[in-house]
Amino acid sequence: MATDDQSRDDDTGAGSPLASLLGHGERLRVLDHHIDVDTWAGGIPQTRARVPDVRIGRRWYSTLWLIPIGLVTVVFAVALAQQLRQYDWMKTFIDTYPGTSASYAPAVTSGFPAWLRWQHLFNIVFMMFLMRAGIQILSDHPRLYLNSGCQPGTAWLRMRDPIPADRLDQSDAARVWTAKDDSVALPKWFGIPGFRHSIGLARWWHFSFDLLWLVNGLVFYVLLFASGQWRRLVPQSWDVFPNALSTAVQYASLDFGANEGFTNYNGMQIICYFATVFVFAPLAFITGLLQAPAIAARFGFGAGVFNRQVARTVHFTVLLWMVFFIAVHTTMVFITGFVGNLNHIVLGTNTHSYWALAVYAAVMAVIGVLWLIASPLTIRYPRVVQIVGRWTVGWIKWFMEWAQPKATYSEDDISPYFWPNGRVPTSERYEQLRAGGWADWSLRIQGLVENPITLSYKDILAMPKHDQITQHYCIQGWSGVAKWGGVRMSDILDLVRPLPSARWVVFYSMADAGADPEEGRYYDCHPIAHMNAPTCLLAYEMNDEPLNVTHGAPLRLRNEREIGFKQVKWIEGIEFVESFEHLGLGYGGAHEDYEFFGYRMPI
Ligand SMILES: Nc1nc2c(c(=O)[nH]1)N[C@H]1C(S)=C(S)[C@@H](COP(=O)(O)O)O[C@H]1N2
Ligand SMILES: [Mo]
């Protein structure tokens, strides 16, 4: 990867005629891409996430209360179970339903085959990265809601304070609280990579290991059913429920029955395993996909019960289940005959060899090391993470972009509050253009086109106008429905007539990309194939009003199959190019260059 950056060493040009005309390329290439957390994202202070609070009615409660509540519950459950086991009817019940029984699943006597043992190991390695990166993604918008517009004050879970009330005024673009202001940091041994607003990098980890985890899971399903091992996991009679209850009472009374896990799982075990493998795992996948603009804009999931915020909430619930499951599962492995249990899953035999313990300890040490190096390596080699991630999952994102983004919503779905994001233009020139009612502003469209043109604000207003009510999906997790009015990109294409060699469309903003002037101005590239969608718009109106400064005046992009950061605001130039390698740092946009995002963002 180093050579990739070295080759740019002497190249400090703007990359294209329009880029240099608009002042987009006077920066030096960054050669060594390691991240300095102190100056990252304009040196935002590393505000830490809080232990989550949950809202019940109008009041917020710390989830730390779960610790004493849990302890009291356990003590109470033990007392209750021990008392219950004194009664004859309970003794009869446990005799009838011993907890482990062949009545709901026949004994599987073939042991644990090697493929199953390996897959079990891969699963935990993949999930550790998946879950940590997932929590990092959550902390980039550390609130969960059930309404698609993420209206302030309606969250049910939060990992930071409420938005300062004096920063909700969207007419004050310089002061308004942005989604980036809202992100929080995690300890780097916990999230990946920990520091604030590192979602671009966290997503490569999340999606790459997600893919590995899914492939592992699919292979597992196939082998499970091909081998007959599924009989361990799928209860075949309702008897499983009284047996599960019996197991619960026995465990709670701290008097466990014999562990027959090598051939038969007890009622509780089989229900939990079944739910994890066949309910929660697929649910994680589905609720992940439901958060994708490309999928939602194809099927209209923006409003209603399948909206992104419900999907985020359910996705998070799956995480809670997985954490709970892993904690209880591991505890049970320890307290129900540790060495014997390890022999089952490490060696696949019903023996009591200490080799299994040795292998387990060695594997745990390796996992511990992997755990600890993930964040430091990401901070040291973010560009490698981006490139490897793109190589691993980029092609899938390309498939997702095929979906036609045709969903539109009704006036009733429009979000009362639409979160703002990004860095507003601060130049004097922008202020003058705005003060002059955009009379002196113009949109230059050139590059690989037959007919390069420059349009004034008036010219654009004179073109056919289209309205659409669509949903915005910020990479950070929030969403919002708004009505956009403007001109179709397909009409622009008809005017300029792109040459066959044009493959990408670059949108240049008047605003800076970041606080560091070295990052230059904001820009982003879109595949030309997206420009023909009827919903691909250059918007100058939002909710029937002229676009305000906060949301991108005078002109901003809507490409409904892509995530929010691709929707360039404060546009003043559009260029048709064959490749974007020569623009900026060459990764496809300002956030691709400096925040390590991917250039395809249908999810
Ligand atoms: N020029 C420019 N455009 C930008 C950004 C930015 O920082 N600069 N931020 C992007 C991001 S991350 C999002 S989510 C959307 C937010 O649009 P909104 O402020 O209208 O909600 O704008 C996008 N367009
Ligand atoms: Mo965003």
**pLDDT mean by block of 10 residues, the chain; 603 residues:** 35 70 65 76 88 96 97 97 97 96 95 97 98 98 97 97 95 95 97 97 98 98 97 97 97 91 96 98 97 95 93 98 97 95 96 96 98 96 94 93 92 97 95 97 98 98 98 98 98 98 98 87 97 97 98 98 98 97 93 95 96
Contact between 588 and 524 (Cβ < 8 Å): yes
Nearest CA among 104, 71, 69 for reference residue 265: 104
The string of pLDDT tens digits covering residues 160-195 is 999 999 999 999 999 999 999 999 999 999 999 999
If DSSP codes are grouped into helix, strand and coil, which group holds residue 575?
Answer: strand
Give the separation between CA 263 and CA 112, rounded to whole angstroms: 9
Burial code (b: 16+ CB inside 10 Å, e: under 16) for 115-131 equals: ebbebeebbebbbbbbb
Maximum separation of any 2 CA atoms in the chain, in Å = 91
Which residue is associated with the tokens 């991108």? 552
- Our answer on whether the CB atom of 511 is closer than 6 Å to any ligand 1 atom is yes
Give the separation between CA 574 and CA 22, rounded to whole angstroms: 11
Contact between 273 and 240 (Cβ < 8 Å): no
- Our answer on whether the CB atom of 125 is closer than 6 Å to any ligand 1 atom is no
Burial code (b: 16+ CB inside 10 Å, e: under 16) for 485-523 equals: bbbbbeebbeebebeeebbbbbbbbbbbbbeeeebbbbb
Q: Where is 360: in which H helix or E strand?
A: helix 354-380
Mutate to test the pocket of ligand 1, among 474, 479, 569, 597 (most ligand atoms within 8 A of CB): 569
Its pTM stands at: 0.94
Q: Where is 125: in which H helix or E strand?
A: helix 114-138
Atom of ligand 1 nearest to the CA of 478: 14
Atom of ligand 1 nearest to the CA of 180: 12
- CA 560–ligand 2 middle distance (angstroms): 13
- Our answer on whether the CB atom of 564 is closer than 6 Å to any ligand 1 atom is yes
- Our answer on whether the CB atom of 474 is closer than 6 Å to any ligand 1 atom is yes
- Our answer on whether the CB atom of 601 is closer than 6 Å to any ligand 1 atom is no
Give the separation between CA 370 and CA 457, rounded to whole angstroms: 55
Mutate to test the pocket of ligand 1, among 522, 567, 571, 593 (most ligand atoms within 8 A of CB): 567
CA angle 224, 225, 231 (to 5 degrees): 80
Alpha carbon of residue 410 to chain centroid = 27
Atom of ligand 1 nearest to the CA of 557: 24
Give the separation between CA 524 and CA 593, rounded to whole angstroms: 10
- CA 91–ligand 2 middle distance (angstroms): 60
CA-nearest residue, atom 8 of ligand 1: 422
Give the separation between CA 410 and CA 109, rounded to whole angstroms: 58
Structure tokens given for 509: 């903003």
- CA 528–ligand 1 middle distance (angstroms): 20
CA-nearest residue, atom 12 of ligand 1: 565
- Our answer on whether the CB atom of 183 is closer than 6 Å to any ligand 1 atom is no
The residue count for the chain:
603
Indicate the residue type of 464.
P
- CA 569–ligand 1 middle distance (angstroms): 6
- CA 564–ligand 2 middle distance (angstroms): 5
The C-alpha R_g of the chain, in whole angstroms, comes to 28
- CA 522–ligand 1 middle distance (angstroms): 9
- Our answer on whether the CB atom of 476 is closer than 6 Å to any ligand 1 atom is no
Nearest CA among 106, 108, 126 for reference residue 281: 126
- Our answer on whether the CB atom of 422 is closer than 6 Å to any ligand 1 atom is yes
Residues 6+ apart with CB under 8 A from 433: 440, 441, 510, 554
